[in-house]
Amino acid sequence: MRQGIRSVNLPRVHRVTKGGKVYRWHRPTRIKLPDGIPETHPDFIAAWASAEASVRPSDRKAPGGTIAAEIEAVLSSKKYKAYSKVYRHEVRREADTIRSLYGTAPIAGLREHHIRADLDKLTDRQSNARLKVWRLICKSAKDGARITSDPSVGLRKINIKTDGYSAWSIAEIESFRARWPIGTVQRACFELLFWTAARTVDAVSIGPQHVNRDDGVLVFSQSKTGGKAHVPWFSTLPDYAGTWLDDRDMMHESLKHMSGGLTFLQTAGGKSRSVKGLGNMIRQAAQDAGLTGRSAHGLRKSRLTLIAEHGGSAHAIMAWGGHKTLAEAQKYTSSAQLKFLVTGTKQKQNEVNRSRISVNFRKSD
């Protein structure tokens, strides 16, 4: 009997383990469930039962043949489960919206003009994200012989001309450092992001366990692409990064003022920082330093741009940034080469950049 109680595994509970602790949510409603108690505890069962009772009819198992049923098939597929955590979140967000708006409609009656009408209500960027999920739904239905033709085939993504997040300039980096001295949380988060070129989703998860004790290289997998990033943590710096020792020293010194633990940026209470919280912190700290439009991802672009401008190859950018394809990294080297055409030789440009990037440690702090 006791063995049966220990094996209870309540359905529709989403479990995430961070720092050795299990966090749980009710999957259909996203309601947070109690921490620190077993799922057999009366308080946990009561919270779970309350969440179950609040499930909307649209959140329950959908009738066969509906768009909602097809969405359930997509979200339970091996293809969806193989996506990165970040992309799964994006797909589920759009899928939940489609389900709430059109879930009861029959999948067999879906036509191109229905999808187009849905997309026309959205901004260009939202439309592209929504179209990706419509395509997944339609492919799932066609593969399962629930429709004979794919109504999303004739629809195309909207071409959005943008450079994305802007890289921080050297002057902006110095302004941020002047506003947030070593010893502040803002500075520690900034320095880790700037040195590693990590996305926020990875920066909140990396820690001492990712540093190879033999060669002193920080290695971690990119949540977005699965590619492995290799960052010189204690190791000798490559030739193109020879003048960046101050940057790395400032990063190490800044992290000494954090609480330490499984992740470099965990809170004083031992909890991992949230991805959204880290991004918001950098954005607000930049504004407090008089910088507008600066983001955490812009620091990634700054580091990778500096590699290119200091003579690092596309392969070097690929290694540091964790890109999976060389084409992604070559965007940085191509831009740097165009710059060299109007500013002088690569050697001369490196000399100029070295004088600009070198920051006097004592002066800064």
Convert the pLDDT of each residue in 320-329 to its tens digit: 999 988 888 8
63-67, 107-111, 137-141: least confidently modelled range: 63-67
Q: Check pLDDT > 90 for residue 74.
A: yes
pLDDT value, residue 42 = 82
Burial class (CB in 10 A: 0-12, 13-18, 19+), 238: middle
Averaged pLDDT, 102-131: 94
Nearest to 270 by CA among 262, 281, 278: 262
Give pLDDT tens digits for 339-365. Answer: 765 665 444 555 555 444 444 434 444
pLDDT of res. 30: 81
For residue 17, what are the β-bridge partners? 22
- The reported pLDDT for the residue numbered 197 is 96
Q: What is the DSSP letter of 156?
A: -
Q: Which two tokens stand for residue 269?
A: 């209470």
Q: Residue 171 corresponds to which amino acid? A: A
How high is the pLDDT of residue 329? Answer: 87
Does the pLDDT of residue 271 top 50, yes or no?
Answer: yes
pLDDT at 245: 96
With a cut of 90, say whether residue 9 has pLDDT above it: no
Q: What is the CA radius of gyration of the chain?
A: 24
Q: Report pTM.
A: 0.61
Q: What is the DSSP letter of 310?
A: T
Residue 245 token pair: 């020792």
Residue 148: its pLDDT value, please?
A: 95
Share of the chain above pLDDT 70, in %: 87
Write down the mean pLDDT value for the chain.
86
Q: Which CATH architecture has domain 170-364?
A: Orthogonal Bundle (1.10)
Q: Is 313 helix (H, G, I), strand (E, B) or coil?
A: coil
State the helix-helix crossing angle for 296-309 and 314-321, rounded to 10 degrees. Answer: 150
Collapsing DSSP to helix, strand or coil, 234 comes out as coil
pLDDT-based confidence at residue 270 (cuts at 50, 70, 90): confident
Answer whether residue 98 shows pLDDT above 60.
yes
Tell me the per-residue pLDDT of 129-165, one tens digit each, with 9 for 90 and over.
999 999 999 999 999 999 999 999 999 999 876 556 8
Q: What is the pLDDT of residue 364?
A: 44
What pLDDT was estimated at residue 355?
46
Would you state the structure tokens that stand for residue 96, as one six-digit string? Answer: 């939940």
List the domain boundaries for the chain: 2-55, 59-143, 170-364
